């Protein structure tokens, strides 16, 4: 597991690409500049690690496109010390980006194979989420709620109510909503009973699956 100057150079270029595509948040760009994305991918795709594209990981899932990770993280509007719940741990790349920003992370994954793999892998790179949960993201993780932010990294056919109810007032749920194409949607909890909704264009994700357990 090596991170060489070649990888560092490629990351710098990736960051420049993301800036050109409109990502402006300094902390997000710094995190992407630091996290060794190539180590989160299967060896067959190492050459592509710093191309702005999504790629297959285990269990028919994907590591999200860097732009998508950057955009969702930026939309969360979290700062150092905040607590975030992530739905869809996958490779752990998004988790690592949030940890790099000084955020406390809880993350849920429903694929046992991926859950076990990523739980072993993240600490090897020095990334320590507060808790990785094997379970159904539709339910959120009420035990550690409320959260400053909740980020869903799979396409949700609808907005799960438990996720809205696990937000702090002022907190944001960043969720791609839709079946084949998803609209990046942000819900801000403006009071205990009110949510403001904003939309940020089309994205494509693997589906957020209903619990099979």
Summarize as ranges the residues that interact with ligand SAH (CB under 6 A): 61-64, 87-88, 90-91, 93-94, 108-111, 114, 136-138, 153-154, 206, 208-209
Whole-angstrom distance, CA of residue 192 vs CA of residue 171: 11
- The nearest distance, CB 187 to ligand SAH, in angstroms, is 18
Residue number with CB closer to ligand SAH (62 or 194): 62
Query: What single string gives the DSSP state of each residue in the chain?
Result: ----HHHHHHHHHHHHHHHHTT---HHHHHHHHHS-GGGGS-GGGGGGTTSSS-EE-STT-EEPPHHHHHHHHHHHT--TT-EEEEE--TTSHHHHHHHHTT-EEEEEE--HHHHHHHHHHHHHTT---SEEEES-GGG--GGG--EEEEEE-SBBSS--HHHHHTEEEEEEEEEEE-SSSEEEEEEEEEETTEEEEEEEEEE---B-PPP--
- The nearest distance, CB 59 to ligand SAH, in angstroms, is 6
Whole-angstrom distance, CA of residue 41 vs CA of residue 47: 10
Residue number with CB closer to ligand SAH (57 or 191): 57
Q: Residues with catalytic annotation?
A: 64
CB atoms within 10 A of CB 56: 14
- The nearest distance, CB 193 to ligand SAH, in angstroms, is 26
Residue number with CB closer to ligand SAH (87 or 150): 87
- The nearest distance, CB 201 to ligand SAH, in angstroms, is 19
- The nearest distance, CB 128 to ligand SAH, in angstroms, is 16
Residue number with CB closer to ligand SAH (69 or 186): 69
């Amino acid at each position: 597991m090596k991170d060489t100057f070649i990888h560092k150079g490629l990351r710098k270029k990736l960051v420049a690409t993301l800036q050109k595509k409109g990502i402006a948040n300094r902390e997000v760009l710094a995190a992407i500049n630091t996290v060794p994305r190539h180590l989160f991918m299967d060896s067959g795709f190492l050459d592509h690690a710093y191309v702005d594209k999504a790629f297959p990981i285990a269990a028919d899932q994907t590591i999200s496109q860097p732009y998508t990770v950057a955009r969702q993280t930026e939309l969360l509007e979290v700062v150092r010390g905040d607590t975030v719940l992530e739905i869809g741990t996958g490779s752990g790349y998004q988790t690592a980006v949030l940890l790099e920003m000084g955020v406390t992370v809880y993350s849920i994954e429903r694929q046992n194979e991926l859950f076990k793999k990523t739980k072993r892998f993240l600490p090897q790179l020095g990334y320590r989420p507060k808790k990785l949960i094997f379970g159904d993201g539709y339910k959120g993780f009420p035990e550690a709620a409320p959260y400053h932010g909740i980020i869903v990294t799979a396409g949700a056919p609808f907005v799960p109510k438990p996720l809205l109810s696990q937000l702090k007032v002022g907190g944001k749920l960043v969720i791609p909503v839709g079946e084949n194409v998803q609209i990046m949607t942000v819900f801000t909890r403006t009071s205990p009973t009110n949510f403001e909704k904003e939309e940020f264009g089309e994205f494509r994700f693997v589906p957020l699956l209903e619990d099979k357990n």
